[in-house]
Amino acid sequence: MAQVSQQTILQDLSYLLGETTVPTSISDREEYIQKALERIFRTYRFPMNVVVATIQENAGIGTLPTNVGQDGLIDVREVNPGPFTDNVYQQVSYQDSNNYSVGSYVYWLTGYEGNYTIYTSETSGNDVNPVLTLMYTTSVPVINASINTNFPSSMALALGALKYYRLAEDPYTDVSPYENMFQMEMNEVIANVNRGRAQVRGRTALEVLGTYTGDITTVGAYVGNVGVND
C-alpha cells in the first residue's frame, strides 16, 4: 500500500471545510487525524498493521514485542521443517491454564499493550525453550509531519477527523452526516482489501485442537482435564 502523509490528510480536511490552503495553527486537526487513525485500527484488521515476528521463550515464558496491539495475537506457533509439522498454540485464560499439561501447546498472557508476557504449557521436555513465531496486529502508530501512515485513504482519515472537528465547534451538533461519510469511505477501502486478500482455508474442530479422528489419547486428555476441574 502507498503511504499517506499527514500533510495530504490536512489538505483534504481543509478542502472539506471550504478552505483553499491549510492554516498555520492546526495542532487540533493533527490530533483529530490521530484519533481517526486509532478508530480505523480498531475497526478492521488491515494488512498494513499485521506483522510476523519471533521471540525466544525460556522455560515457558517470553516477552512479546512492544508493538503488539491490545488483544493483537492472531497466531502463535513453533515452525518446524516440512508440511503439517508446526506446533500451533491455542490461547486459554489464566483461570484455565492449570488444566493443561506439557504437550498441550496452549498459551496465556499477562500485562498490557506494550508490556505483554506470554506463558505456555511447554515448561519442560523438548519444547522448553522454543522460538515462537507470532502473527499479530500492531498498536496504533503515530502519524505526524515526518511519519506517514500505510493506510491508503487520506480522505477516510480526513472525514474521520472532520467529525471530531465539528464536535469541537459545537458539542451538540448532529455529526451523523460526517460519520456516515466516514463509514462509506471505510467500506470502500475494506471492500478493496477483501478483493485482493487470499481466501483462508477453513479448519475443522479437530485441527484447532491439534488432534485427529481416532486419537483416543489426546481426546481423553482434554475430557479428563475438564472433568477433574468441573
Domain check: are 12 and 52 in the same one?
no
Q: Report the number of distinct structural domains present in the chain.
A: 2
C-beta separation of 102 from 125 below 8 A = yes
Domain check: are 138 and 25 in the same one?
no
Domain check: are 143 and 166 in the same one?
no
C-beta separation of 92 from 106 below 8 A = yes
Domain check: are 32 and 99 in the same one?
no
pLDDT digits (tens, 9 = 90+) for 63-96: 999 999 998 999 999 999 988 889 999 999 999 9
pLDDT of residue 119: 96
Confidence of residue 7 (pLDDT cuts 50, 70, 90): very high
212 located within any domain = no
Instruction: Answer whether 0.85 is exceeded by the pTM.
Output: no
202 located within any domain = no
133 located within any domain = yes
Domain that holds residue 188: 6-46+151-194
Q: Provide the b/e sequence for 195-224 (b: ≥16 CB within 10 Å).
A: eeeeeeeeeeeeeeebbeeeeeeeeebeee
The pLDDT of 24-41, averaged and rounded, is 95
pLDDT of residue 218: 52
Domain check: are 140 and 59 in the same one?
yes
Which of 122, 148, 174 corresponds to the end of one domain?
148
Domain check: are 61 and 120 in the same one?
yes
The pLDDT of 175-204, averaged and rounded, is 88
pLDDT digits (tens, 9 = 90+) for 98-134: 999 998 999 999 999 999 999 999 988 777 788 999 9
pLDDT digits (tens, 9 = 90+) for 199-226: 777 777 777 666 677 766 554 554 444 4
Q: How far apart are CA 147 and CA 149, in angstroms?
A: 7
Domain check: are 41 and 53 in the same one?
no
pLDDT of residue 195: 87
Residues in the chain: 230
Q: How far apart are CA 108 and CA 91, in angstroms?
A: 6
